[in-house]
Amino acid sequence: MIRYPLLLVVVSLGCSTPALAQRDWNAPFPAHQVIDNIYFVGTQQLGSFLVTTPEGHILINSDFESTVPSIRSSIEDLGFSFADIKIILGSHAHGDHMEADALVQELTGAEVMVMRQDVARLRRLRPGGKEHPIDRLLDDGDEVTLGGTTLVAHRTAGHTQGCTSWALEVEESGQTYLALIVGSFGVNPGYVLVDNPDYPEIADDYRATFAKARSLPVDVFLGSHGFWYDMERKLERALTQAAGQQNPFIDREGYRAHIDLQEQRFQEMLREQQVVR
């Protein structure tokens, strides 16, 4: 049975507006079970996920330090213990996704594992003067296993050098599916794609990421921002659909469409910068 804290659903789904989404990174959103042992515990804007196991849990994306109370409340609303987080993973070395790694480690004692190529950028995230903890360095294809669940770290570089998308197999109704929590395939405004002295291989990394993304047989498309995978609408469908219908978060077409959109934006920005150069 899918878990949805009813009170949070009633409160949060009724207060979404574009203006709020633009301004409030920590606007609440209902914690919910996505599929199998993957639970959404983030905010309206920030995708944080709890992967539960009998031996403790894995948190993907600690977000801002100011987001931690919301993440903790979401975990507890789902009936789990925040203190049972054993491993902290992240999508990429930006403050809105990994700033609070040190704080969550202080509160739980969990190990922090990060992609090797993001270490330098993570070292610059020092909220309150805290050093960024790193207990294990990861490389592309490394596995993280806890309590019988294994996640595979796919380096999907470009957005940052160590941007990571997390894959794991899940089950529902006797079927096995591949879930992917996308770190980011996107190009932010202001990114330098041509003659970037700080990241010379950025354009090549993006090309490799799009090729890798297309090669992965993803069934369940998730991401470090909920709007990428149409989180709000899918949750509404999950809450209202009849029993026996397919889980809305199983969305192979949505995943492929997201790759197409991000690659198109990359190509357009690259062409514009090549003309200017």
Q: What CATH number has the domain bearing residue 32? A: 3.60.15.10
Q: How far apart are the first and last CA of the chain?
A: 56
DSSP state for residue 250 in the 8-state scheme? B
* Domain coverage including residue 131: 6-276
Residue 243: per-residue pLDDT? 86
The 3-state DSSP composition of the chain as helix, strand, coil percent (nearest 5) reads 40, 25, 40
Residues 6+ positions from 37 with CB-CB distance below 8 Å:
51, 52, 53, 149, 170
Nearest to 54 by CA among 89, 76, 84, 75: 84
Q: Please report whether residue 1 resides in a domain.
A: no
Please report where in the chains the tokens 């996308």 appear, as a residue. 182
Q: Which residues of the chain have pLDDT under 70?
A: 1-23, 277
Residue 14: per-residue pLDDT? 36
Q: Please report whether residue 193 resides in a domain.
A: yes
How many folded domains does the chain comprise?
A: 1
Residue 139: per-residue pLDDT? 98
| Other C-beta atoms lying within 10 Å of the C-beta of residue 96 | 18
Which pTM does this prediction carry?
0.92
Residue 5: per-residue pLDDT? 52
Is residue 64 within 8 Å of residue 99, measured between CB atoms? yes
Q: Please report whether residue 206 resides in a domain.
A: yes
